[in-house]
Structures are given as structure tokens and as C-alpha cells.
Amino acid sequence: MLAYGELLAFDRMAADARLAPDLPRRAVLSEMAGVEIANYRRLASRLAELGADPQDAMRAFVAPLDAYHDQTEPRDYLEALTKAYVGDGIADDFFREVAALLDAPDRELVLDVLHDSRYDDFAADEIRKAIGADPKVANRLSMWARRLVGEGLSQAQQVAAERVALATLIVSGSADEGAVRDLLKRLTNAHTVRMAAVGLNN
Amino acid sequence: MLAYGELLAFDRMAADARLAPDLPRRAVLSEMAGVEIANYRRLASRLAELGADPQDAMRAFVAPLDAYHDQTEPRDYLEALTKAYVGDGIADDFFREVAALLDAPDRELVLDVLHDSRYDDFAADEIRKAIGADPKVANRLSMWARRLVGEGLSQAQQVAAERVALATLIVSGSADEGAVRDLLKRLTNAHTVRMAAVGLNN
């Protein structure tokens, strides 16, 4: 799921880079995409090492992840940045939670792939600056962020329903049946903090 | 020119990756694009180190390089690969010739950025296999390659006419006035060898 997520994030981020207002910013978005495809390579190599065909392993996640991105195509540069900051933020938190349930070396691989926050800082700065220059932007981007979360949750439920192995891993990795509720609470809290940090309303 | 070439090649190659027939091949094209944006970063950093604003330095090359890519948008996977193999092949040869006229460390930087031939081998293999499976493909791709060369030369002339510094570097870097003719001859010969190597006709 993460491998296809990275391959697809590369594709969408590379396209979103065209929305940037100048060449240096376009280059930063392109470099963000470049990180995703490098991550994809590491995950695909590990899948192959484990004897899995990466294409087969990714197949089940193509439809829901494509659907998420099709439903959340940014119309401008700030929507693209908000998507990277808010959408990828939640996804990364989720994958970190799942990674904690894996054994080494896969746990370390997933955490390592997710750890790069350089570009989050860039996105957060840009969003903050845009809101500073025009406070009305906060409303528009807050609505956009809610849509991102809604679409993300909808596709996540689809994945959980269809991918019993993943759902089982999450449920069985926890001591009691409140664990999934706790996981959702942690994801939601982190999301709220992230939104507030750039001046967006949950 | 090379910096913007890499930034733009990233953008176009990332889009071309969508033409790939399966996820592993799409990933390889995406990784090819990833290499371009990493190269861009190295060149832009060096420009900044030299006191140039990368955006200003690249500006003159935006229109001709955009025009080249707009005129040579691949319609399918094999056209995309042929463009990477033939078009980038000539461009790389040209930049290698220019690099030879630069002083260290810029000469080494340019040569280093150009040296990666992993993906050329991939493209050449795919083209050879496609021609092996259906010999008619050779004709279609040969025509496509000629169009790539024609468009490339047309935009190169534009750049040479407008960018006196670059033209002067090439002319003054050579002992006699036959040098530009010799340069073109070397580029043409290398192109002919490259075409024959995958079964395309010049």
C-alpha cells in the first residue's frame, strides 16, 4: 500500500508542480516528487526481496488510492501544498502506526521512508505566508483540508474492508478492542495540531 | 540551459510515465524522472554558489526548451522511450562537448550529471524488444526519431542565435573555424550509431 502510495504520490506531485508560481517553487515541488519515487524504489526492492511481485502486491491498492487522488485534484498551488501537508501528514501518521506493528527490518524501512519532514516545513511556511498575506485564504484552505480528510477516510474504509490482512494486523497488534478507536483518536489529534500550526480551522 | 533542461525533462518524463503498460515500467520511467530532478538540484545549487539566481539564469532557455517538448509530446510508451534514448542522447552529447570547454569544477559537475546510462540501456532494450516483436515498429519509431532530431536542431539554432555567450564559448573553444562543423559531425555520427544499435534507420 505504501509502495503504490509513493509511486502515485510521485505522479500527482510531479503534475502539481506545474501549479507553482515560479521556477524555484516548481523545482521544490518536483523535488518532493523525486523523494517519493526514491522511496518507492526502496519499498519495491524490499517486496521483491521478500519474494513478492511488487505489481501483484500493489494491485489491490490501485483503485482506492487512484480514487483518493482523482477526487482531490488541486486547482492551484496552495491547494497542492495543503494536500501535501494535510493529506500526506495523516497518511504518514497512519503508516507510522502500522510500522510499529511490524518486525525489523521492515519497521525501520517504513519509518525511514516516512521520516523526511524537510518538505512539510516548506509547505507549512508557504501556507502560513499565504494566510498572512490574505486571511480569507484560511477559510478556503480549511474547507479544502476537510474535503481531503473526508475523501481519505472514505478510501481508507474501503481498503480496510477489502484488505483483511491489513485490518487484522492493526486490530491484533493492540491489546483491547478500544485500540482502533484510540488509533483514530491519535490520528485526529495529530491532524488538529497540524491544522492549527499553519492557521487552518478543523 | 542544462538546469532548466533537467527541470523540464523531469516534468515531461513524469507525465510520460503514465504511458507505461504496467506498474513496474511506469516506475522505471518515474525513476528516470527522479534522476533528472536530482541533477537539477545539483546544477541550481552550483548556480547559486556562483552568485547567479537560478531562475534568472534559466529564463532565456524556457521558451526554446518548452517549444521542443511541446512539439515532441509522445503519444505512446515507445515514443516516450525513443525520445529519452534518441533526444536525450543527442542533448547529452552536446552538453558533454560544451563541458569539455569549461573549467573545473563545472566541467566535472556537468559530466557527472550526464554520466548515468542505466536508463539508456533500459530504453534501448525496450525498443529492441518491441521491434523484435513487430518489425513495423522500426519504421514508425525511425520517423519519430527524425522528427525529434529536426525539432531539436531547430530549437538549438534558436538558442545559439539568442545566446551569444554560449555560441561564443563553443566557437572560441576550438582552434579553427571548421570546429563547429566538426562538432556537428561528431554529434551526427554518435546519433547514427545510437539509432543503429536499437534497429532504427537514420
State residue A165's pLDDT score. Answer: 77
| Pairwise CA distance, residues B135 & B140, whole Å | 10
Task: Report the share of chain B in percent with pLDDT over 90.
Answer: 74
Q: Which long-range contacts (CB under 8 A, 24 or more apart) does B132-140 make?
A: B137/B78, B138/B199, B138/B200, B138/B201, B139/B201
Q: Would you state the cell numbers that stand for residue A70, as one nine-digit string? A: 482523482
DSSP code of residue A103: P
Alpha helices (H) along B72-135: 77-82, 88-99, 106-114, 118-133
Between the alpha carbon of residue A92 and those of residues A112, A143, B100, the distances in Å are 11, 21, 45
State residue B168's pLDDT score. Answer: 79
Mutate to test the interface with B, among A30, A31, A47, A65 (most CBs of B within 10 A): A30
> Does the pLDDT at position A118 exceed 90?
no
Between the alpha carbon of residue B144 and those of residues A40, A97, A125, the distances in Å are 32, 49, 45
Please tell me the pTM assigned to this model. Answer: 0.89
State residue A124's pLDDT score. Answer: 95
At A167, the pLDDT band (50, 70, 90 cuts) reads: confident
- Cβ–Cβ of A7/B22 closer than 8 Å? no
- Among A4, A23, A30, select the one facing B37 at the smallest CB separation: A30
At B149, the pLDDT band (50, 70, 90 cuts) reads: very high
Contact A79, A85 (CB under 8 A): no
Q: At A101, which helix (H) or strand (E)?
A: none
> Does the pLDDT at position A197 exceed 90?
yes
**Chain B residues with CB within 8 Å of chain A CB:** 4, 7, 10-11, 14-15, 17-18, 22-24, 26-27, 30-31, 33-34, 37-38, 40-41, 44, 54-55, 58, 62
Contact A120, A85 (CB under 8 A): yes
Give the chain B residue nearest A21 (alpha carbons).
Answer: B55
> Does the pLDDT at position A117 exceed 80?
no
> Does the pLDDT at position B176 exceed 70?
no
> Does the pLDDT at position A174 exceed 70?
no
Q: At A29, which helix (H) or strand (E)?
A: helix A23-49
What is the average pLDDT across A155-178? 75
Q: Which of B26, B30, B27 is nearest to B11 (CA)?
A: B30
State residue A43's pLDDT score. Answer: 97
State pLDDT tens for residues A62-105.
999 999 999 999 999 999 999 999 999 999 998 998 898 899 99
Whether the bond between A64 and the residue before it is cis, its omega within 30 degrees of 0, is no
CB contacts < 8 A (A, B) = 80
What is the average pLDDT across B136-165? 89
At B171, the pLDDT band (50, 70, 90 cuts) reads: confident
State pLDDT tens for residues B83-132.
999 999 999 998 998 898 899 999 999 999 997 777 889 999 999 999 99
Handedness of CA B195, B144, B73, B26 (dihedral sign): negative
- In chain B, where are the structural domains located? 2-197
Q: Would you state the cell numbers that stand for residue B164, as one nine-digit string? A: 551569444
Other residues' Cβ atoms within 10 Å of the Cβ of residue B155: 20
Output the average pLDDT for chain A: 91
What is the average pLDDT across B169-195? 82
What is the average pLDDT across B26-38? 95
Q: What is the largest CA-CA distance in chain B?
A: 52
Q: Would you state the cell numbers that stand for residue A123, as one nine-digit string? A: 509547505
User: Any idea which residue has 518489425 for its cell?
Assistant: B135
| Pairwise CA distance, residues B122 & B145, whole Å | 17
Mutate to test the interface with B, among A4, A6, A16, A23 (most CBs of B within 10 A): A23
User: Any idea which residue has 538558442 for its cell?
Assistant: B159
Of the given ranges (A37-41, A87-91, B158-162), which has the lowest mean pLDDT?
A: B158-162
Task: Quote ipTM for the complex.
Answer: 0.86
> Does the pLDDT at position A166 exceed 80?
no
User: Any idea which residue has 484552505 for its cell?
Assistant: A141
Is domain B2-197 given the CATH code 3.40.50.300 in the classification?
no
- Cβ–Cβ of B4/A27 closer than 8 Å? no
Q: At A72, which helix (H) or strand (E)?
A: none
